[in-house]
Amino acid sequence: MAAGKPVVILGVFVADTAYRADRQPRIGETILGNSFKLGPGGKGSNQAVAAGKLGADITFLTRLGVDAFADMAKQTWNDAGVKSAVIDTPDSYTGAAYIFVEEGTGNNAIIVSPGAAMLISPQDIEAHAGLIRSAGVFVTQLEQPIDAALKALEIARGAGVTTILNPAPAASLPDRIYTLCDYVTPNETEAEGLTGIKVSSIDDARRAADALLAKGVGAVIVTLGEKGALLHTKNRSEHVGAVNAGPVVETTGAGDAFNGGLAAALAKGVEPLQAVRFACAVAGISVTRPGTAPSMPSLNEVEALLARA
């Protein structure tokens, strides 16, 4: 597959500090952990790394501090073939995240402090409007301020760029953001947060997706963990099963792997249902490996898995 049209992702880089332990400590309690790892993270950055490793022509737009974590960010993107449009912010800091991983299950709990990325403004977006307009696919999430995401989606939509909003972490959104989105990609929890509909089954996901279509979204893709994903539009509703690549080690980066894979596939002109299947395969490989950005697979690995599946 050729690189296809350019992908531009707006989002946050944070340094992930990952602690593995048998359980979380209670307030006032200290427990011994089983391991610690420092690595690159942030939803937008992880998605950019996923797309870069899949061979997409990808540029990541963000703010960083001027510090060791910023150096880690730039090295991570360089290694994954990601171009960056970074606004250096010496009076703040590069973001960091606390990630607790439950040893027995691989489940996680996370605190994110985005630092300089919280200062991304609509003015920053205007300054990079040409970059956004040049994209075939534009992606953003909700770790940076919503007004910046909204401005970027407006610019992308105005230029006919395919727009993807990954509404993570869940937040209350202005109604007009939905009409700017060709795709919205919530997980079960985020779908419930946006619609008030609890998602425990594929039928629930369809009801939540209908509520999002009613708000003006073009297509909804609800990611369902080990149940795969649901592609839901006005004319079709297709459940795509998870693509099993082996035993689950850690689920932390799965949503980012999915969104990066989806963007890469759509930029290459893959039709939506096949793009969702491709994205499920990217996520399926990522959960068999520890970490977020380091768990993202290559295009060869994804194509081999899909050929077997």
Q: Which residues are known to be catalytic?
A: 256
> Could you say which DSSP state residue 226 is in?
G
Alpha-carbon torsion (173, 179, 180, 184), positive or negative: positive
Q: Going by DSSP bridges, is the β-strand pair 219-223/183-184 parallel, antiparallel, or unpaired?
A: parallel
* Rounded-to-integer distance, Cα 78 and Cα 168, Å: 25
* Residues linked to residue 41 through DSSP beta bridges, in sequence order: 14
* Rounded-to-integer distance, Cα 246 and Cα 23, Å: 24
Q: Going by DSSP bridges, is the β-strand pair 14-21/94-102 parallel, antiparallel, or unpaired?
A: parallel
Q: How far apart are the two ends of the chain, measured CA to CA in Å?
A: 19
The three-state DSSP-derived secondary structure of 269-283 is CCCHHHHHHHHHHHH
